[in-house]
Structures are given as C-alpha cells and as structure tokens.
Structure 1
Amino acid sequence: MQMLDIGPVLVANRGEIAVRVIRALRELGIPSVAVHSDADAGALHVRSADRSYGLGPAAPAQSYLDIERVLRAAEVTGARSIHPGYGFLAENPVFAEACERAGLIFIGPPVEAIRGMGSKIEARRRMRDAGIPTVPGGTDPLATAHDAAAAADAIGYPVAFKASAGGGGRGFRVAADRSAVEQAFTGAQGEGLRFFGDPSVYVERYIEDPRHVEVQIFADAHGNVVHLGERDCSVQRRHQKLIEESPGPTVDPALRERIGEIAVAAARSIGYRSAGTVEGLLVGDDFYFLEMNTRLQVEHPVTEMVTGVDLVREQLRVAAGLPLAFAQGDVRMRGWAIECRINAESAAKGFLPAPGTITTWVPPDGPGVRVDSGVRAGDQITTHYDPLLAKLIVWDTDRGAATRRMLRALDEFEVAGTATLIPFHRNFLRTPEWERGETGRSLLADRTWLKATAETAPDRHATGTKQEIS
C-alpha cells in the first residue's frame, strides 16, 4: 500500500472514535497523537496513541472544544494533520479554517462545505437550488412568534420548528396546531442559542413517523464522488439514534439507486471532499433531504461491514491527495449489518444518564461481531461527556440472521458498575415491531414498556434446555 505522508496525525477527540482513528493510523504506519482532558489522562485512546498531550480541565469548553489548546497540542507534538472524529470540533468551520492557517491538514471536507451545511437554513437553500427534494417549509429565519405562526399557517399543521445550527435533537420542537406555535418557536430558539450560539429558527412540515434514512457518500479532490448505500436510523429517542442498520429494510435496489444519485448530486453541488452523510426522511418512496453531516458518522461501521470499505482509511488517503481507491461500480452491498449503541443510560428510567465506575467490562466476540469501544474496566463514566461507551456491530447474511447474532452478542456483553442500554436492545430486538422493520416509535413513547426493560440478567438458555453431559 502507498505510504501516506500526512503524519503525525493528532486526533482531536476522545472515546471510541479516537481509538478507531488511532488504530487505522497504526495499520498505515502513521504516528498518532492523542489529546485528553484531566479526566481522560488514563483513557484507552491515550494509551493507544504514540504520543499524548493534556488539554486541561474535564469541562469540554476548557479542553476538547478549546481551539487554541488543540492547535498548541499540534505544534508541541509536531503533528502535521488533525482528524476531528465526530462531535466536538468536527463540524466547526472556524476550527477547520484555523487548522489551515496553522499549516495543518484538516482530515475532512473543505471549510466552505462545512460552513454551508452547518446552517440548516443555508443547506435547504442550496439543496433547493440544486434541485434536491426537501421537506416542504421555509428557507428564511423567523424573527418573531407572530412570523412563526403566519409561516406555520401557510405550510399546514403539524409543523416542526428547527434551530438552524441545531442537531442531536436540540433545537427541535413540534407544534400540532396554532395554539402551540409560540411555545415551540421560543423553545427551539432558546435551545439554538443555548447549545449552538445561534437563535435562528425556521419551520417545515412535520412528518409523523417517517423513516430516517441516510446515504454515505465519499468524494476526493479529483472529481470523484460515490455513494456506499444507505443506513436506516429510524429507531431513535428524542431524535437521537439508538439502532442503525444497513441496508434499509424498506429500500429496494431501484430506490437505493435513486437516493444514492440524490446524495451524490448534493455532495457535488457544494464541492464536497472526504466522508459525509446525506440524511433524509423516507415516506413511502419519497426521499426528502434533511441535512448533511460533514464528517464521519457514529454509525459508519455498518456501512463498512456491508461494503468492505474502510472509511477511516479512505479519509486518510483522500487527505493525502490520493484519488478514491474504488469507483461507484465497485461498491457492492453484501449481507446485513446492525449497530446497537451501548450508552451509559437507563431506558427504564427515561434514558437518564448513568454515571459510575465500570467494574466489569467483557465485550462479546465471535464470527461477524465487532465492538468499537473507548473504555475498559476501571474507567469512570462522568457527566462531562457523551454517554456512548461502545458500539456493538454485527454482520450476517440477512436481517433475520443478523438480528439473532446481535441478540447472542448482547447476551454475552457483560458490564457492571453502570446501567447501560444493553437490556433495552435485548428487549427491542425481540419485538414484532423490529421484526416487521418498523420504526418502533410507539414502543419508545410507551413508558410502561420502557420500564419493563429494567436491568435484568439475560436468560442464556432461553432457546432450549441445558443438557448436562456426563
């Protein structure tokens, strides 16, 4: 394999994605640099890297989100490139621009692509101009609750008010009728300002119980843009993903080709480069552009499992100026992959975070099982960071076989010291709703059902009677 002259690479992130990138760098013979807060000094990503640098206190604003400290880390450690992972600074155009000014290679898309897609209002405008279908709604920020009501009346109820800079369920409020508009508008506006520093809000038609389908795209600096099929991420709570799968259970080859072409056109329209995801709402066979994530996604492993493409390695190749190692005609989706997010949360308690110290950590293994994790036994889980402990990914020949494999792996996953979503996943994947390929929205809104997912030990012999051999 061609050597990539982009190292050392500083990984400006933590947890499982930092470990994932560092492993890819090691396989390519590229030196890695980890950064960490005081709370993460002994974390797995720090122990995995060739070098490490302390950024400061546990609070993200004083460590991982401090651009000057991250750039100082690159200078002190001699890093030539920065991989932002996802979250934190990954979609921050100010950070990407600062990397370029400092003479560092930013392993991600161009600054203008990040900036253009970072604003949902601007993204909707650009997609409409490019002929990409979008959810019916406005492309102008709303100034007052009166303006919001007038716009909602014109669109028709129910409507969704969205913070232009929002994400992860933040800055998203629904109004079922005119009486709910003011509260929904001001709520979205307040969260947009509080979490993203931008109070801009727009309105669009609220589509009830759509499928959340996204397309993985990849582009290089040589004019090549391809898609790697779709992921279905419809199982969510509070607009945050819990389970992802590829391919989508309702997507046939013709629909796959059509939404893939939409995603490629969207990427070309903004001069994209590197890995990205075009997210959309699927209603029947109608696919509406929702947003574009200008980074690697948490759920990227399911795409890797069904296509055989190492997305992180491809990011590094593209950052080094090389063309994509594959063309559209080379992409083949084989079998089925499912990812369950193992968060330190209790679904039985409304998905409340569950900080604590991990006393037992025994991940599953075996054929077709992958665990992307950034923790080990003895690690302390705090409220400073995202509660994602690991991603459990499985592959098998079809959806039914992959589900059975996932259930086996979940039953083998041993974690103690903190509550996790393992019991939730075990229960959810056994429901008729999952078997039928539904979104599961009714179950996730059912507090009684969620309480039934309380922490219980798995019945490891539920499929038969244990036989003693003498």
Structure 2
Amino acid sequence: MSNEFYLNNPLVHSDRRLGRATSAWVRQFDCGGIRPLIICRGPIRKEAMDTFAEMGIEHFGILLSEKDSIVYRNALAPELRSLTNPDRVHRVPDYSGANKEEREQRIEQIINIARDNDYNAIFAGYGFMAEDQTMVAAMEKAGLNFIGPCSRTVHDAGLKDEAKRTALKCGVSVTPGIDNGTALALLKKHPDVAALKALVKAHGLNVPDKTLEDSHVELADKADIVLSASYEKGIDIYTVDELCDALTEAVDKMTAEYPENRVRLKAISGGGGKGQRILGIGESARTPEMVREILNEVKTTGVGDNKNVLVELNIETTRHNEIQVIGNGDWSITMGGRDCSLQMHEQKLLEVSVTVESLQRAIDQAEASGQTEEARILKQDLKTLIAMENEAAAFGAAVGLDSVSTFECIVDRDKHFFMEMNTRIQVEHRVTELCYALHFVNPDNSADSFTVESLVEAMVLLAAHGPKLPKPTRVPRYNDSVEARLNATNQALQPHAGGVIESWSDATEREIRDDQGISLHNPDTDVFMKYTLAGAYDSNIALLLTVGETRLDTYEQMAETIRQTRMRGQDLATNLEFHYGLVNWFIGQNINARPTTRFIVPYLTAIGELKERANDLDVRMAYKTICANELSELQGGEATSMAQVLQSKESLYLRPLELLISEPHIMAGWLSVNRDCYTLIDGKISWNENPIALLADTYHFLNMDFVPGDNPPAATMIWDHDNDILQDALKFYNELTNRLDAQDWVELNTLLDAQDPPKGLSKRIWRQVRAAHIGFQAGADVLAALPSIAEATGYYDLTVNPNLTINIPERLTDETHQELMAKVLVPPPVANSDEILAESGGMFYSRETPEHEVYVSKGDHFEAGDPLFIVEVMKMFNKVYAPFSGTIKEVLVESDGMIISKGQTIFKIEPDEVLVQITPEEQAARRKNITGQFLAQL
C-alpha cells in the first residue's frame, strides 16, 4: 500500500470508517471499539496497521520478535517509522516458540500483554499462529476477540485430517489417501475396543467406556477419540517409530495401487510448503526419514504433540487452485479463485486470479479468433471453477466458518480434488480483493448499504459484528489481477539469507506494492533507509500486484512494473529477474497457458541451459570477427570510414548484449517476447524485423532508455553518443519505410538489396540511401548471438500446446540435469579439494533431529549422495548431500543451531579421488569453438 495509485484509486481503496456514515444501520457496524494486538510480521502487519487506522481503530499495538531486531539497522522494524508510540510496541523472543512448551509460554505471554495494555482483540495475519487451534482457544478463553476463524473452525477445517473427513461428509472431492496414520499406528498395538479401554484406564484418559462401546462409531474413529484425549493430557501413547511403521505400510499399499504415481506426506499442521515431502517411485523405504523431517520442520516432536501425517496420492499433472471463502457462521460465500500453480518446493511464486467473468471473456476471445481447442479447455476450467466454488461454500458452512479462509484444491485436467482449508488470510489475498468487493445491504431497505474492499477489514467486521452482518453479494472490480512474490533468493530460487537493500525505486503508477514498510523513506530527509534481510523468517520481501481488463493486460502491467523496478544492495539476491523472465515467457507464449506445479523446475533448467551456452560465447570476440569480415570487402577510404563507424557502435551493441548474456532470466524474457524476430533458414539466422528497431526495443526492455539531464547514472541508461547513433538510424528507417510504403522489414530489406532505385528516387539518392543503410546495419549481426543461444539450447522447445498444456522436453525433467543446471545458475563456492563449503547461509544442524545421531563425525567415510548436514534458511530445512565420496578429517562447526555463512568451510575432508578441473586453456578453446559456431550462423 505504498504508492499513490493504490491510495487514490477508488476501485482499490475507500473510506473504511463506517461510524461516519449517515445511515444508522451502517453506523452500527463501526469497529472503533476493537483494540487489536497484531501478533504477526511482514507485509500483513503493515497492511493491518494501515487498515485499522483507516477504519478508525485508534488503539492497536504490534508484537515485535527479537529476531526482527536484526533486520533493520536504524530501528527494530520498518513499521516503527509510522508507529512511533513505544507503549504500543511489545517484545517477545519469538512469535511462536521452537517447541510445544515455548508455544504455550508465548500464548500466555501474549494474553498477559493484551490484558496489561487494554487490547481486546488479536490479529494473527497469515502466520502459522493464525491456524494454531490451541492458541485461538486460549485467546477465546481469556475473553479476547480473535480476528479470524474461531477455534472450532480451526479444528474442524484447519487440521488436515479433520478437514478431509468433513469434506467426505459434505460431498467434496478429496485426494486418495489416508488421514489417520496415528490411529492406524495405535490400532497396531491396541487392535480392538477392549485394548483401547485398557489403554484409557492405564493412562487415566478422559474417555467414557460408553463412547468406546458405541457400535455406530468406527474402530478407527474410536482410536482418534483416545488420541485426542492423550493430546489433551499431554502424553504420548505411540512412538514416532510406530507411526513411521504404520505410514510405511500405507505408502506401500498406495504404491501397489498407483504404481505410476509418487506419494505425498503432509503434516496436518503444515502449510506454506512446510511439513511436506514427496516420495519418489520405489522410495517407500525413505518414509521414516521423511516423516521425521516433517515433524521436525513443523515442530511437533514434543511429548503430547499430535504427530499425524497424511499419506496422499501425488497427482502428477496438478494445478494448484484455491477458492476464497468468507462466512459469519451462518452464511458462507465464495469470492472466486486463484491459480497458484507457479511454485517451487511448495512455495508459491506467482499467483493469478481465476474468476467467472475473466474466464468467460477469455472464452469469447478464443472463439472469436477461431481457437476452438483453447475455448474448449477454458470452458472446462469455467465448469471446474463453479464446482470448486460450490464445494467451498458448502464446506465453509459445514465447519461453521465465521471469518476468512481459503479452500485449496488440486486440478488435474477435468477433475479436481480438495486438498486442505487454510483457516487464515492468505499471502495472496489481494489477488482476490482486487477482483471482488463485498456489498452488504440492509434487509429492510435496499437503498441502505455499504461496500467492503479489504479482506482484512472484512475479518475485523466479522470479529466485531459477525452475527448481525447480512449475507453480502460479491461485486466485480477488476477482471484480472496477478501477484509476484519478491523473495530473497538466488537465480536458482534457493533462499539467500543476508544482504542489504540500499536503494529501491518508488512504486510505479500502476503498481500495488505491499511490504512491511521497507519502501517508506526517512520522514525527515526523504532518504531510503537501508534494510538488512535476515534468514530468521521466510524469504518474502514484498508482494507486487497489478490489475487489468484482461489477463494479458495484467501480465503486461506486471512486466512493466518489474522493468522499471531498480533495487541495489550489498550481497543482495532476489527473484526479481526471475519474475521478469517468467512473466514475459507467458506473454510471449500464451497468457492462458495451464502450467502445473511441476513447471518451474524444468523452466529453471532451461534457463540454466541458456546460461551455460552464454558462458561459452565471447561476444566481444564475435564482434571483432564480424567487423573484420565487413572490412575485408572494402578498400581505401571506404574501409577507413567503415572502421570508424564500427568502432563508434561497439558500446551501442555490446552493452545491452553483455547485460542480457550475464542475466539469464532477463535473456529468457527477451527471447520469449522476441521469438518471431528471426527465422532459421538452412542453419542461418535471418531477421524478420529490423535489428536496429530490435536494438531500440532491447534498451527499453532493459530499462536503459535515454533520460536527459544530470541525474540518472550513466550505468543505468544508453550513453548519449550511442543514443544519437540509434535515434538517427530509427529516423532514417521510419522515413524510408514511409517513402517506400514497405509493409515490413523483409520487404524493405529486399528493396534495399536492389541496385536499381524504386520509382520516385534518383540513382544518386538511392546510392546514398543504400550507403546509409549499410552504415546503420554495420555490426548489427552481433545481436544474432541471442537467437543463436536459443537455437543451440532448444529453448523454444519449451512451449504451450493448443490445449494450453505445456510441452516440456524430456531432458528438462531429468533430475541429474536439473541439479547440474541449478549449479550453472548459481555456481557453488570455490572449494579446495580437501573441504566442503556451505552453499548458503543459515542455521547449521548436524543431524535429523536432536534424538538422532549426527550424519558424519571426524574419521567417518561418506559416499557420494550421503547426507552431511542440514541448513535451515528462511524457515525451510535444506539437507546437504555429499557431491563425492571421501573421509571427514575435521568438523569445523562446533554445535547445532550455529549460524553459518555462504562459502564457510564446514568439513575438512580427504576425497577418495582427486577432482579434475578444467584448465584456463581448455576454457578458452571451448569459448572459441562456441563463438565460431555462432559466427557460422550469420
């Protein structure tokens, strides 16, 4: 919410102070009496602060974790630039605690803070505590108004096993699998009612005998009742080993039933990619290892924790769709959908609105242009969306939804399956609220109404006045919206802890930017304040959103937003370039493409292939050769004149070309939108458009347009003398095209090849025109390096089919090749042959869990592929495997939980074989060969 467009556009923002309304009916929904404590961080905290202020809520505070204090140099958090009252800032060690005991302490601490500071409500945003049933119940018991779904809804809908059972009862499609692994584990030891009754008695559990004797209750459900009682008492009645055995049996059974599918393991309390693992075909033996990783990641390893893990069929061609649901416990409605398929490692990257209105418009456009197959697919998507919305509304009613939640599904062609319900507001909630508003009408007077455009505002209204709110209707706002998550990741989308943002351009006119206040300048000096990115929390920096009348318009606005964004800093790595390439890939291919959740890794692999080829192409050598070839056909003064021309144009061509070659994601975007700029004829690159016009477009694509004046740094734009040459050339070709009435570049170039002048021009003028043309085109062949790289790597084989699926070449799905290309994108730190280095910063762990033995110790021998250690970075646990075999000579990290940095030596080792590295001479010979292959295409 940090830009003028967002603040001033009535379709995006409105006065939210209902207490100021002239209508008594509207005024009754004033929320000024709510006094909330915000217990979350990141963009949602800043959004909540702004929304509360706009609603007239004057008394609110924020919870500040000690881990927040390391990310900002001049204040504990960026938000403190706007929230300056120290009495409204409250400090805790961490938001949720590392284990059950710490979580319980934190909940009690939050309740005490609320009581001591006159807060009567809690807002938890989209942090994990927002879905913690224990916390929500504790807040309710303490008399605090929880701004979100009540504890009953969190239990029935938020726990994945309970949600799946509810879905089955109300006719919602679910993924094949088991949701009661803990019950199965318990029944292996206590296989009947008598055994369960004995267990209850032995542990003094609060389960009446008549409950276990009820013949209408299934045995597995009785086991769940006993389990619930054990959780309430805080004891364990099964071991993790026993759970792993039961889940391994379930995995084996599913593998036998679906031999061509992988299996997904999913913690009932996970979310946002945490607590999920996928077992490859034939990997059931790894189930215990994966289960322990999952439990450790979601921090449910303590005594009395519910350790249930779902086993589900992994639908291999899935798209991830979700439906926004809102209710007051009586009514439940939906607000359209979002496609979140563009994700990696369960972490969403780009989220796109899916609405009835948008799909119908796309269908009409496809039919009008004769795209019958595309229209057929879009019609099926419309049917699927309507079905998911109906099921979401029914599920919301079944669990008594009394706030905002998200109904998540996986879509496989014409089928869809309920996955889970997130009982919290989602990171991507703005994608929905930009497409729909909620219109509330007085049941006794249809002229008396108000409209809510913010889902955070809707949550507050429901918390304060839920039962009184009539069922609203959804009102369309924009047809389409899209959100890009700006994350702290490297070019391979691996988390990149650390780094300092030293400057960040202001939001553009059409950009909606949500961050946690990083964009706010110093109120006294108007200077951008440096911001340090830490690895304590997730990798998200900001959420970038755009809207449009069509999906294409929305994507083009996003591309333009990113094009104009400049971010600089120390050791700073973000996925901004990735988003620029990806958005332009869809613009260049088909904006209605249907990627699956497995698209991003092959896409990244294709980008790695571009980078690998570009690394071996010497464009400066190529330009010198092109110049020499052009001069070889000239003599005397012509040669001297042409040499001067070629020298003067060297930076004009090579600056943008070298930038594109050094930034593979940006090069991928350029290749995508310019895929029709050339044709390969008999192995030779032939331009379909004027390379000079293409060059001008390239400078614009790179945000290097000429800006007169002294302010812009020379490094960020075309140099003035290069711009003079380029503008003269563009004027020349514009004039010539108009004079000759040429339809396109191919026709104009054919005319210029002829020695005889066209009608209306003298031979003298025509000679001058052709000479000028030769001069303006001199050296332009070097631009063909870009399509040459695309052709050599088969980049355009990654394409959209007529049925909107994506054709992914087999080579891009090979895991070994994927790993290799990831290392091309982000080369590992240079290590001596006797050491293992950390490829990223984060928190070091030497073992699976505290109960396990360390992976390797001094003197241990390891094989290639063996696990060596774990790095926790941006909330994700990344296991590091041995790249080769060897023996540990020394362990250089003292203990678990220590912070390590990228490139830090972890082990001194003795490799089994001496690694052979390529010599500089071999590298030079390779570059000469690849450059020669390019030149042969001219």
Residues in 1 aligned to 2:44 and 2:417: alpha-carbon distance in whole angstroms: 29
Residues in 2 aligned to 1:154 and 1:42: alpha-carbon distance in whole angstroms: 54
2:129 aligned with 1:95: no
Of 429-438 and 104-113, more deviation after overlay is shown by 429-438
Q: Deviations over 1:217-275 (max 9, x none)?
A: 10014x12110000000000001100001026757544332211110011111111100
8 Å contact from structure 1 (residues 227, 260) kept in 2: yes
Q: Deviations over 1:171-197 (max 9, x none)?
A: 3233343x3112145303431244240
- Report 1:333-344 matches (<5 A): 334-344=478-488
1:354 aligned partner: 497
Tell me by how many angstroms 1:46 deviates: 3.4
Q: Secondary structure at the match of 1:372?
A: strand
Q: Deviations over 1:279-317 (max 9, x none)?
A: 001112322100000010000011111114311111111
Of 131-140 and 64-73, more deviation after overlay is shown by 64-73
Residues in 1 aligned to 2:416 and 2:493: alpha-carbon distance in whole angstroms: 31
Q: Secondary structure at the match of 2:50?
A: helix
Residues in 1 aligned to 2:699 and 2:467: alpha-carbon distance in whole angstroms: 48
Tell me by how many angstroms 1:325 deviates: 6.5
2:290 aligned with 1:187: yes
Of 387-396 and 117-126, more deviation after overlay is shown by 117-126
- Going from structure 1 to structure 2, the CA distance change for 1:279 and 1:147 (only over 3 Å counts) comes to closer
Residues in 2 aligned to 1:62 and 1:173: alpha-carbon distance in whole angstroms: 21
8 Å contact from structure 2 (residues 486, 544) kept in 1: yes
8 Å contact from structure 2 (residues 405, 422) kept in 1: yes
Q: Deviations over 1:444-465 (max 9, x none)?
A: 2355435456687996513998
2:863 aligned partner: none
Q: Which amino acid aligns with 1:462?
A: F
Q: Secondary structure at the match of 1:232?
A: strand
Q: Which amino acid aligns with 2:318?
A: P
2:514 aligned with 1:372: yes
2:168 aligned with 1:14: no
1:212 aligned partner: 320
- Going from structure 1 to structure 2, the CA distance change for 1:351 and 1:15 (only over 3 Å counts) comes to same
Residues in 2 aligned to 1:59 and 1:321: alpha-carbon distance in whole angstroms: 28
8 Å contact from structure 2 (residues 581, 666) kept in 1: no
Of 430, 439, 445 in structure 1, the residue corresponding to residue 584 of structure 2 is 430
Residues in 2 aligned to 1:272 and 1:317: alpha-carbon distance in whole angstroms: 14
Residues in 2 aligned to 1:104 and 1:14: alpha-carbon distance in whole angstroms: 20
1:288 aligned partner: 417
Tell me by how many angstroms 1:345 deviates: 1.2
Residues in 2 aligned to 1:193 and 1:81: alpha-carbon distance in whole angstroms: 31
1:69 aligned partner: 109
Q: Secondary structure at the match of 2:701?
A: coil
Q: Which amino acid aligns with 1:228?
A: M
**What TM-score comes out, normalization by structure 2 length?**
0.47
8 Å contact from structure 2 (residues 266, 294) kept in 1: no
Residues in 2 aligned to 1:254 and 1:194: alpha-carbon distance in whole angstroms: 37
Q: Deviations over 1:99-127 (max 9, x none)?
A: 11221100011101112233212211111
Residues in 2 aligned to 1:314 and 1:112: alpha-carbon distance in whole angstroms: 20
Unaligned runs of at least 5 residues, structure 2: 1-17, 19-26, 70-74, 185-242, 301-305, 360-377, 438-452, 520-528, 612-662, 671-697, 707-722, 729-938
Of 603, 606, 610 in structure 2, the residue corresponding to residue 449 of structure 1 is 606
2:543 aligned with 1:391: yes
Q: Which amino acid aligns with 1:36?
A: L
1:33 aligned partner: 61
- Going from structure 1 to structure 2, the CA distance change for 1:403 and 1:324 (only over 3 Å counts) comes to farther
Q: Secondary structure at the match of 2:130?
A: coil
Q: Secondary structure at the match of 1:359?
A: strand
Larger RCO (alpha carbons 8 Å, 6+ apart)? 1
Q: Secondary structure at the match of 2:289?
A: helix
8 Å contact from structure 2 (residues 277, 290) kept in 1: yes
1:203 aligned partner: 311
Q: Secondary structure at the match of 1:135?
A: coil
8 Å contact from structure 2 (residues 322, 338) kept in 1: yes
8 Å contact from structure 1 (residues 306, 336) kept in 2: yes
Q: Secondary structure at the match of 2:567?
A: strand
Q: Deviations over 1:377-435 (max 9, x none)?
A: 31221111111110000001101111111011011222222211100000111115663
Q: Which amino acid aligns with 2:501?
A: I
1:46 aligned partner: 80
**Of Structure 1 and Structure 2, which has the larger fraction of its residues in helix?**
2
8 Å contact from structure 1 (residues 83, 108) kept in 2: yes
Tell me by how many angstroms 1:54 deviates: 3.1
- Going from structure 1 to structure 2, the CA distance change for 1:8 and 1:131 (only over 3 Å counts) comes to same
Residues in 2 aligned to 1:194 and 1:233: alpha-carbon distance in whole angstroms: 23
Q: Which amino acid aligns with 1:320?
A: A
8 Å contact from structure 1 (residues 156, 205) kept in 2: no
- Going from structure 1 to structure 2, the CA distance change for 1:55 and 1:135 (only over 3 Å counts) comes to same
- Report 1:224-243 matches (<5 A): 224-243=331-350
Of 444, 451, 454 in structure 2, the residue corresponding to residue 310 of structure 1 is 454
8 Å contact from structure 2 (residues 250, 311) kept in 1: no
Of 371-380 and 426-435, more deviation after overlay is shown by 426-435
- Going from structure 1 to structure 2, the CA distance change for 1:434 and 1:183 (only over 3 Å counts) comes to farther
Residues in 1 aligned to 2:347 and 2:497: alpha-carbon distance in whole angstroms: 17
Equivalences, count: 466
- Going from structure 1 to structure 2, the CA distance change for 1:200 and 1:155 (only over 3 Å counts) comes to farther
**Of Structure 1 and Structure 2, which has the larger fraction of its residues in strand?**
1
2:394 aligned partner: 265
Of 243-252 and 270-279, more deviation after overlay is shown by 243-252
Residues in 2 aligned to 1:180 and 1:109: alpha-carbon distance in whole angstroms: 38
8 Å contact from structure 1 (residues 424, 450) kept in 2: no
Tell me by how many angstroms 1:168 deviates: 2.5
Q: Secondary structure at the match of 2:339?
A: strand
- Going from structure 1 to structure 2, the CA distance change for 1:286 and 1:412 (only over 3 Å counts) comes to same
8 Å contact from structure 2 (residues 384, 415) kept in 1: no
Task: Report the RMSD for the aligned CA atoms in angstroms.
Answer: 2.9
Of 690, 696, 701 in structure 2, the residue corresponding to residue 462 of structure 1 is 701
Q: Which amino acid aligns with 1:28?
A: M
Q: Which amino acid aligns with 2:91?
A: L
Residues in 2 aligned to 1:425 and 1:444: alpha-carbon distance in whole angstroms: 14
8 Å contact from structure 2 (residues 384, 416) kept in 1: no
Q: Secondary structure at the match of 1:18?
A: helix
Q: Which amino acid aligns with 2:156?
A: G
Residues in 2 aligned to 1:135 and 1:94: alpha-carbon distance in whole angstroms: 27
- Going from structure 1 to structure 2, the CA distance change for 1:299 and 1:139 (only over 3 Å counts) comes to same
Unaligned runs of at least 5 residues, structure 1: none
8 Å contact from structure 1 (residues 410, 426) kept in 2: yes
2:255 aligned partner: 152
Tell me by how many angstroms 1:44 deviates: 2.5
1:136 aligned partner: 176
Of 272-281 and 73-82, more deviation after overlay is shown by 73-82
Residues in 2 aligned to 1:75 and 1:47: alpha-carbon distance in whole angstroms: 26
